[in-house]
Amino acid sequence: MAYLEQFPTFILNGIALGMIYFLIAIGLTIIFGMMGVINFAHGALYAIGAYIAYTITSLVGNFWISLVVAPIVLFGIGVGEYFLLRRLQGVDPVYQLLLTFGLALIIQEVVIVIWGTVGKPLSIPPIFRGMIDFGLFTYPKYRIFLIFFTGILAFFIWLAIMKTKLGAMIRAGTEDSEMVSCVGINISRLFILVFGIGASTAGIAGVMAAPIVGVEPFMGMSILIISFVVVVVGGLGSYAGAILGGLLIGIIQSIFILLLPAAAAVTVFAFMAIILIVKPQGLLGKI
């Protein structure tokens, strides 16, 4: 019963977890929604973001610069990945899956060649070390910052998608890319932009997560699974679904560790299975 007093902390912790999952999943869902591509290399892009954070912090002693550099670098890599995928347009989607999976493995091995097999230490930036006292409980400053940062980023992405002309084109492309092309919009450039943005958000997620989970070559594979769960629960191609899916998965994971720890590891997958049975397109996905 003493644990129930900790409920607010666990909810807050679930939200923090959920925001990390959202940040990773948003790129995945945007790319799928626009292009119908399930990007298995997404986890590897997240890992590159983490390594950029480590490298820049080691070289110049400033973590925050990596929040600028990582999205730019990952945008470039995302665009490169798009040009590879473009060559497989019109063929069986399995080939695209294989390509992205192959890319994931190549990126992982390149990371090992450059940085080695041993992981790298990366500390939380000094300004966000320590705990905040909320009276009833204390909670790490960095995770509070992470919630706000991701929330603000989510708002600006939503603003861009819902309130700009470019966003309207992206939304239209998600519905019917052929029609968008027919009305004279350069769909190829739109795809490039979407892929680049999707990859950038993965990179930002990697930068933000690195001080908490560490930096090691196999971190991409381990986060990919949970990203897919979030996207499937929220609905493939749905921006709001990615937010809802991330938060739900994070909170469920956190609460079950408190209430039923033996089942915590499988709970999220069980939840995903229930969603797939009840609403196969996801909570906010469209058929």
Partner 1 sequence: MKGREKNLKKIFISAAIGLCLIGATVMSTGFAAEQKPFYFLGLHCLSGNFAGPGEDGNRGCFIALEERNYKVLGRPIEYLVRDTELKPEATTRKAREAIEKFGVKFMMAGLGSHIGLASLDVARDKKILLLNHSSGSSEITGERCSRFGFRWTNDNSSIAKSALTPFLKERPEIKTVYCLVQDYAWGQDMNKNSRPILEKMGLKILGTDFIAVGTTDYSSYLLKAKAAKPDFLYCMIYGGDQIIAAKQVYEFELRKDVKAILFPWSGTTMIKEIGSEACEGVYFGLQWWYTYDNDYSKKFTKKFLEKHKVYPDNEAIGAHYCLKILLDTVERLKTDDVKTIILELEKEKAVDGPTGKEYFRSWDHQNIKQFFIYRGKNLKDYKFKEDYMELATGGSLYRTREENPCRFKDWDN
For the CB of residue 48, give the shortest distance to partner 1 in the complex, in Å: 17
For the CB of residue 3, give the shortest distance to partner 1 in the complex, in Å: 6
Pick from 80, 119, 125, 151 the residue near partner 1 by CB under 8 A. Answer: 119
Q: Which of residues 175-234 bind partner 1 (CB under 8 A)?
A: 211-214, 216, 218-219, 222-223
Report the residue number, 141 or 171, with the smaller CB distance to partner 1. 141
Report the residue number, 36 or 119, with the smaller CB distance to partner 1. 119
Q: How many residues bind partner 1 (CB under 8 A)?
A: 42
The answer to the question of residue 135 lying near partner 1 (CB under 8 A) is no
The answer to the question of residue 144 lying near partner 1 (CB under 8 A) is no
The answer to the question of residue 107 lying near partner 1 (CB under 8 A) is no
CB 108 within 8 A of CB 196: no
The answer to the question of residue 5 lying near partner 1 (CB under 8 A) is yes
Residues found near partner 1 in the complex (CB under 8 A) = 2-3, 5-6, 9-10, 13-14, 16-17, 116-124, 130-131, 138, 140, 142-143, 211-214, 216, 218-219, 222-223, 253-254, 257-258, 261-262, 264-265
